[in-house]
């Protein structure tokens, strides 16, 4: 008790650094970016200043920017030329993600981990994450699973190191694991978007990935933001089906879920600081209301404190620059 105990004693100078519990490292970061088969040149996403859609011919350049900063992994999203009701340009050998992965792996080999977002929503003309029943507009879970398996195999064949299914179909991890194994990809890990909430914070992404939906929303397959316990069962099922890395998405509004999932499963855990989180910080910074760098730094540090091992963030490059500069200073 006071006055014997004074918390402020350790809050000075070097000592404060020595008692610091959590630290961000460049090796925690995953850089997500969009490869657009329809684009001729790099174009900025209007709702996400500083984030671009890269033409296929520049996918390697996008990856290089992360690689040069020491970021160990990229997460690739594809925007196809052609969309249809079955998302059929999601699994071809020469489709956008497959081509991008092949080019990036040819350039960087084992030195850069390539993760692919595995979902149908960017490839379907209705924008939903699966096969839709034309009459009821329901996303039909079990018809979607074999397609997800096919996409996974096509990504692995192109050289993807990790596939990251984000569609929230029941049984998708098992379907993908089985498809990968049957095709000889027994060592390709699955990073499951295991607790993915039906969140308003994905808004700007849908501009970026051109994946808005023409009817309904995703609340019938993504999780209810009101639920916490449910994330435990959702995640447990993914673990049992063979997920190697877990994920909570969005990030900052769901730190309680990150904490609980880490405590419960003690498995590698990623967190996704989503487009809306990025846009909020950007917009406030543009108005001069927040210090941008300090804001994303603190947001990401909070994610580590909550228990995340890896952070997927559109700020990855900016954050890496800060962390690299700090390390050079301390050398
Ligand atoms: C689905 C997917 C989405 C995001 C990542 N993967 C959109 C959605 O579920 O509607 C959102 C990412 C973000 O907001 O940054 N393929």
| Encoded tokens for 98 | 């497959």
pLDDT at 207 over 90: no
pLDDT band at residue 330, thresholds of 50, 70 and 90?
Answer: confident
Report residue 129's pLDDT band, with 50, 70 and 90 as the boundaries. very high
Q: What is the pLDDT of residue 212?
A: 77
188 CB within 6 A, ligand 1 = no
pLDDT on residue 315: 98
State the pLDDT at residue 145: 98
Share of the chain above pLDDT 90, in %: 94
Beta bridge partners of 53: 34, 43
pLDDT recorded at residue 329: 85
**What number of helices (H) and strands (E) belong to the chain?**
11, 10
- Residue spans per domain, the chain: 22-330
Query: Rounded distance, CA 295 to CA 21, Å?
Result: 19
Mean pLDDT for the chain overall? 96
Residue in the structure block whose two tokens are 């079955």? 86
Write down the catalytic residue from 83, 105, 150, 196.
196
Neighbours of 19 (CB within 10 A): 8
pLDDT tens column, 300-322: 999 999 999 999 999 999 999 99
Question: Ligand 1 in contact with 121 (CB < 6 A)?
Answer: yes
270 CA to centre of ligand 1 in angstroms: 15
For residues 291 and 288, what is the distance between their CA atoms, to the nearest angstrom? 7
Quick one: which atom of ligand 1 is closest to the CA of 274?
15
Residue 331 clears pLDDT 80, i.e. is over it: no
Identify the residue with better confidence: 331 or 187: 187
pLDDT tens, 209-222?
777 777 788 999 99
Output the pLDDT for position 209.
78
Residue with tokens 């959702």: 234
pLDDT for res 326: 93
Tell whether domain 22-330 is in CATH 3.20.20.70.
yes
pLDDT of residue 151: 98
pLDDT at residue 30 in the model? 99
pLDDT at 175: 98
Cα of 89 from ligand 1 centre, angstroms: 18
pLDDT at 146: 98
Average pLDDT over residues 147-151: 98
User: Concatenated DSSP letters for 203-244?
Assistant: HHHHHHTT---SSS-STTTSBPTT-SHHHHHHHHHHHHHT-S
Mean pLDDT of 141-147: 97
Q: Write the pLDDT tens digit of every residue in 16-73.
A: 999 999 999 999 999 999 999 999 999 999 999 999 999 999 999 999 999 999 999 9
Distance 78 CA to ligand 1 centre (A): 12
**pLDDT at residue 23 in the model:** 97
Q: Residue 214 has what pLDDT?
A: 76
As a whole number, mean pLDDT of residues 171-193 equals: 98
210 touches ligand 1 (CB under 6 Å): no
* Residue pair 275/314 in contact by the 8 Å Cβ criterion: yes
Q: Are 263 and 246 in contact (CB under 8 A)?
A: no
Mean pLDDT of 278-305: 98
Residue 325 pLDDT: 97
Name the region of 13 (left: φ>0; alpha: ψ -120 to 50; beta: rest).
left
Q: Give me the percent of the chain exceeding a pLDDT of 70.
A: 100
Q: Is the CB of 223 under 6 A from ligand 1?
A: no
For ligand 1, mutation pick of 53, 194, 211, 270 (most atoms within 8 Å of CB):
211
Average pLDDT over residues 196-219: 87
> Is residue 196 flagged as an active site residue?
yes
Q: What is the pLDDT of residues 258-273, one digit of tens each?
A: 999 999 999 999 999 9
Ligand 1: centre distance to CA 51 (Å): 15
Q: How far is the CA of 141 from the centre of ligand 1 (A)?
A: 18
Report the chain's C-alpha Rg in angstroms.
20
For the question of residue 150 being annotated catalytic, the response is no
């Amino acid at each position: 008790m006071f006055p014997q105990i004074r918390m402020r004693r350790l809050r000075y100078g070097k000592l404060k650094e020595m008692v610091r519990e959590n630290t961000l490292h460049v090796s925690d970061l995953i850089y997500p970016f969009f490869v657009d088969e329809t684009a001729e040149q790099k174009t900025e996403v209007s709702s996400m200043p500083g984030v671009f859609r890269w033409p296929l011919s520049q996918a390697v350049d996008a990856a290089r920017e992360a690689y040069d900063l020491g970021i160990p992994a990229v997460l690739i999203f594809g925007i196809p030329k052609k969309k249809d009701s079955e998302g059929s340009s999601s699994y071809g050998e020469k489709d956008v993600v497959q081509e991008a992965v092949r080019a990036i792996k040819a350039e960087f080999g084992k030195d850069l981990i390539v993760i692919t977002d595995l979902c149908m929503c960017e490839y379907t003309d209705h924008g939903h994450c699966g096969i839709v029943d034309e009459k009821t507009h329901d996303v039909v879970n079990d018809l979607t699973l074999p397609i997800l398996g096919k996409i996974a195999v096509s990504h692995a064949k192109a050289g993807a190191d990790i596939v990251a299914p984000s569609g929230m179909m029941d049984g998708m991890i098992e379907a993908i694991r089985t498809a990968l194994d049957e095709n000889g990809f027994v060592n390709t890990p699955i990073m499951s978007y295991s607790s993915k909430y039906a969140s308003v914070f994905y808004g700007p992404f849908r501009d970026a990935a051109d994946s808005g939906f023409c009817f309904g929303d995703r609340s019938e397959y993504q999780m209810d933001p009101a639920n916490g316990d449910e994330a435990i069962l959702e995640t447990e099922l993914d673990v049992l089906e063979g997920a190697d890395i877990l994920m909570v998405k969005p990030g900052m509004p769901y730190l309680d879920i990150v904490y609980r999932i880490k405590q419960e499963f003690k498995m590698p855990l990623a967190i996704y600081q989503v487009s809306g989180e990025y846009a909020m910080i950007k917009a406030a910074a543009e108005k001069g209301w927040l210090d941008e760098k300090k804001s994303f730094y603190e947001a990401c540090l909070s994610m580590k404190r909550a228990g995340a091992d890896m952070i997927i963030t559109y700020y990855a490059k900016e954050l890496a620059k800060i962390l690299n500069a700090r390390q050079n200073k301390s050398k």
